[in-house]
Amino acid sequence: MALIEDLADQLAADTMTAMREMGDDQLYMQVSKVLGASSQTLQEAFLTSIRIRQAEVRARQFLEQTIAAARSGAAPPEAPRPAEDGH
């Protein structure tokens, strides 16, 4: 349902802004608990949006560092290795 994704994404965007302003990188967990008490569906959509936004921030930082290194002639940062899945 588009409404759920829209609501979750806007809440995630607002939460990410608040996290930066407050310096609290775990605020989203508290917001998630509030959502989970009322709507697990909205909670899951919110957490998905948070994960996507956090991944984009990390990837953008990596890209910016890589570009800066290339421009300065420095060694580029190493990309993180994929997580082991235990298999």
Residue 21 lies in a domain: yes
Residue 30 lies in a domain: yes
pLDDT at 83: 77
Residue 20 lies in a domain: yes
State how many domains the chain has: 1
- Domain with 7, as residue range(s), is 2-72
User: DSSP code of 75?
Assistant: P
CA–CA dist 34, 42 (Å, integer): 10
Residue 58 lies in a domain: yes
**pLDDT tens-place string over residues 21-65:** 999 999 999 999 999 999 999 999 999 999 999 999 999 999 999
Virtual CA dihedral for 26, 77, 59, 27, nearest 10 degrees? Answer: 10
**Token pair of 82 as six digits:** 């994929």
pLDDT confidence bin for 80, thresholds 50/70/90: confident
Residue 81 lies in a domain: no
pLDDT at 13 over 80: yes
Residue 84 lies in a domain: no
Residue 87 lies in a domain: no
pLDDT at 20 over 60: yes
Measure Cα distances from 26 to 20, 38, 42 in Å.
11, 20, 18
Residue 67 lies in a domain: yes
pLDDT confidence bin for 82, thresholds 50/70/90: confident
How big, in percent rounded to 5, are the helix, strand and coil portions of the chain?
Answer: 75, 0, 25
pLDDT at 67: 97
Nearest to 1 by CA among 36, 34, 44, 63: 44
